[in-house]
Amino acid sequence: MKKKIIIFKNDRVGDLVHSVPAIKNIISNNQDKEIVIYLSTISKNFYFLFRKDNTKLKVLNYSLTITEKIKIFLYLFKNKIEEIYILSPKNFF
């Protein structure tokens, strides 16, 4: 099983733009790992900025529901996650 890195960037497009260099840096320094990028429904169309062979997109609502929080927890619990980056000013993660 390939090791995974998770990146949470669940906010608006303007905030996403500021994180593009950091996310690209994470991707380029971890080409041997699978990188799962969580974007909001608002900014999911900008995934093309990060699309590589080792990246996957997961989409969340801008305001997470309790169901989505549980799904995230279960995903983290079931998978071998090496690192998690939370690039969001929100406190709900």
Give 52-78 pLDDT, tens digit per residue. 999 999 998 888 889 989 999 999 999
Q: Residue 91's pLDDT is what?
A: 52
Higher pLDDT, 57 or 91: 57
- Sequence-ordered list of residues with C-beta below 8 angstroms from that of 70, at least 6 positions apart, any chain: none
Phi, psi angles (nearest 5°) of residue 79: -110, 155
Position 16 confidence tier, pLDDT thresholds 50, 70, 90: confident
Hey, CA dihedral for 32, 8, 84, 87, is it positive or negative? positive
